[in-house]
Structure 1
């Protein structure tokens, strides 16, 4: 068997997330179909994590094994011809059989993009371009970045993030990956470690970038929604420790829209 690692980028707007679902377009399902078309083999590529409906990826990682022997450049080229334009294979490489896109991941970085309709520098309301709207939260509030930056510091480190997990009782504590960073199955675990997080103005957008060893379902979007409440003045900076301690989704702010979220990158131990 030949063991493969692909890095891919996709526009999640028209997909019902990464994970294959019956009768619905998904990224995993589209890639599996393309692999079947190119190689004749039926495989289900494993992703580094599950992105939800409408969420994008700059560098998702997937792994799988094939009996077919094909040069990496040829596989990359053939898959990009077979896939819809909204999915592109950035790299294709052969790896050791011990590599697993999810189990081998050590840390992940997510990025969330906000288009600010109102800013201190712009007295009149700005209009979000229809070419940008699918890739950013068109936020109607004026946001102050300084308190948002201060509030985000409280979230770094190891905490129980139950308050920032999805409230659906069936999925709330579902992790984006079923195993931890060391590949050990442990079931739902709300204790996660955020290594770094912060806000910046980039290319006319307000961008939140967060790196951690693992994330719960909707965790980043719920953090962004809560920090936006801080930025618009409806929540005090020092309320974040109370929200964490509550271990209750109702204590935190709203869920930010899916369209602004990107899986930025996945890191692995050097080979």
Structure 2
């Protein structure tokens, strides 16, 4: 028996999220079907966490145990030949049997993308939320700073959250503005990428943070109101849940150097 750790990128547009759901059509289902087609094994993979319907990933990780003797360097090509083009396994390595993707994921980074130009980009409609009005990006950056640290993020969690604790740590958060595809026009503000790195995230947490920051950018809230919402520990104190397609699981950092099996 071997425990294999893999990294996967996917476009979540056509899927009901990563994790297996009763109505099917999830990224996990498709990967497990590809493994079955390759090895004949019916198994369940373990990911670092779930992503919601329509959310994408650049650096999701998962692991599973297999008796197949396929060398690690051949797994990516073998699986990708059986996966649809919107799911791509980019790395595979053998780890010790006690490795667990969720437990060893110590830091995760999400990126949320807003197209703040006047017109949407037809080539990135799946990956950007297009905002039709002007945004005060500086105010949004100021509001974002209030979320750094270790806090109870109940205000920024779905009301359906079943986690026993809503305390999480946000280590870093910042915005980058890309104007490379903007016109030389006062209405074009560029594409705004927001990166948030934390110990873990609650259901809809990043999307609610972004919905709140968008209201700050629209002038409907002050930057200080983000801290007020945080302290309230009440979902009603925060803004709406931003649309899913602007969100991407950007990276997962592991505390797992001792688990890697060198071959």
* TM-score (norm: length of structure 2): 0.91
What is the SS of the residue equivalent to 2:201? coil
Name whichever of 41-50 and 201-210 sits farther off: 201-210
Q: C-alpha offsets along residues 116-175 of structure 1, whole Å, 9 cap, x if unaligned? A: 14xxxxxxxx321222111011112211111111111110001111001113xxx2x24x
In the alignment, what sits opposite 2:191? 205
Query: How many angstroms apart in 1 are the aligned matches of 2:41 and 2:104?
Result: 24
Q: Does 1:150 align with 2:126?
A: no
Q: Is it true that 1:159 corresponds to 2:151 in the alignment? A: yes
Q: How does 1:173-188 map to 2 (within 5 A)?
A: 173-174=161-162, 187-188=163-164
1:73 Cα offset (Å): 2.2
Decide which of 115, 127, 133 is 1:135's aligned counterpart.
127
Q: Does 2:172 match 1:196?
A: yes
The answer (yes or no) to whether the contact 2:119–2:132 under 8 Å persists in 1 is: no
CA displacement, residues 221-257 of structure 1 (integer Å, 9 cap, x when unaligned): 0001101111111101111221112111111111110
CA–CA distance in 2 between the matches of 1:257 and 1:137? 7
The reply to whether residue 231 of structure 1 matches residue 223 of structure 2 is no
Structure 2 SS opposite 1:43: coil
Q: Superposed, which structure 2 residues align to 1:33-112 within 5 Å?
A: 33-112=33-112
Do the aligned partners of 2:175 and 2:192 also contact (CA within 8 Å) in 1?
yes
Alignment match, 2:186: none
Deviation at 1:54, TM superposition (A): 0.1
Measure the CA separation in 1 of the matches of 2:192 and 2:253: 24
TM (norm. structure 1) is 0.88
Partner SS state of residue 134, structure 1: coil
- Output the CA distance in 2 between the equivalents of 1:128 and 1:252: 27
Residue 250 of structure 2 corresponds to residue 264 of structure 1: yes
Matched, 1:247 2:233: yes
Tell me how large the CA RMSD over aligned residues is: 1.2
CA distance in 1, matches of 2:212, 2:105: 27
Aligned: 1:30 with 2:40: no
Cα distance in structure 1, aligned partners of 2:38 and 2:211: 42
Q: Compute the displacement of 1:216 (Å).
A: 0.5
Structure 2 equivalent of residue 121 of structure 1: none
Tell whether the 8 Å contact from 2:173 to 2:197 is kept in structure 1 after alignment. yes
